[in-house]
Chain A
Amino acid sequence: MNCDEVIRELSNFIDGELDAATKHEIESHFVECHECKLVVDQTKMTIKVFCDCEPVELPGDLRNRLHEGLRRKLREATQ
């Protein structure tokens, strides 16, 4: 496998969707190619930082607007 082929399989590699032979080929490529290894590790890190970023509490005013708006519209809808 060359670098381009490795990069095309990068998502499947990260998501664990490759057969054992292809996975092994990619891992062997990493032994010789530091750049592809960096791209894979950095892409994993990219996904991780987005996943680790927990949603924040809604600001109080926004939460009030949402709930009051929903209550009002649900009341209107059921009348």
Chain B
Amino acid sequence: MPSPNILLSTPNPHKLPSTVAREDEHLLVAAAKKGDTAAFEELVSRYERKIFRLTMNITGNREDAEDAMQDAFLKSYAHLKNFQGDSRFYTWLVRIAANEALMRLRKRRPNQVSLDEPIKGEEEDLMPREIQDWGPGPDQRFAQTEMREILSSVIEQIEPEYRMVFVLRDIEELSTEDTASALGLSVPAVKSRLLRARLKLRQKLDRYFKQGGAN
């Protein structure tokens, strides 16, 4: 269970958050805290799609993702009294779900998943090689379902310590501070891994997006 002391958030500046809370969210949370399971189920219905995407992105396994999602919702209900309301309910839920997903990933790959720092020296060469032009609108060249398949395939190819940070920061739009606190990492470690995660994913997408690339 992650501790509920969530630090102040700074919004992700490269775009507007797509997860703006509906105004009645705090009412639902308050009702659920008092044991109103219908209110809690409404919260589940609002976030189940996003939480399943999160647990799928982290575990890469349908069965684990499903279990992690269910347990995340159960734990969030059981610990709802600890939710202080000083962060978004969703941010709090994401922390729980990310930990549930990570636990299952570790069970499946016990020797591979370590989030401990440090993982890499700062001396490594980050400059990508053989940079090719992607041409205009590479994202427009794929149908939605095809794009989903590409994205889930490339995200599974990068190491969990990078994937976790990318998923929480860039997909779930948590702040650097919230990501650090959810994963038990320092802010510099989150930043360093986010940079590497982004560069790795760019490299993996290159084969699909470069002009005349795979497709």
Tell me the bound Cα distance from A16 to B206 in angstroms.
24
Q: Any chain B CB within 8 A of the CB of A55?
A: yes
A interface: dominant SS? helix
Of the candidates B40, B148, B155, B191, which one forms a contact with A74 in the assembled complex, judged by CB atoms under 8 Å apart?
Answer: B40
Given A11-B191, A11-B195, A53 contacting B202 (CB threshold 8 A): no
Given A66-B73, A67-B41, 6 more pairs with CB closer than 8 A:
A10-B195, A44-B14, A46-B201, A51-B15, A51-B173, A62-B66
Name the residue of chain A whose CB is nearest to the CB of B56: A55
| CB <8 Å contact, B66 and A4 | no
Chain B, 22-62, CB within 8 A of any chain A CB: 35, 37, 40-41, 44, 48-50, 52-53
Best-buried of A15, A48, A52 by chain B (most CB within 10 Å): A15
Query: Contact between A4 and B127 (Cβ–Cβ < 8 Å)?
Result: yes
For chain A, the bracket of interface size reads 35 or more
Q: Using CB atoms and an 8 Å cutoff, list the residues of chain B in contact with chain A.
A: 12-15, 18, 35, 37, 40-41, 44, 48-50, 52-53, 66, 69-70, 73-74, 77-78, 125-128, 131-134, 138-139, 147-148, 151, 155, 166, 170-171, 173, 191, 194-195, 198-199, 201-202, 205-206, 209
Given contacts A8-B195, A38-B133, A51-B170, contact A15 B14 (CB under 8 A): yes
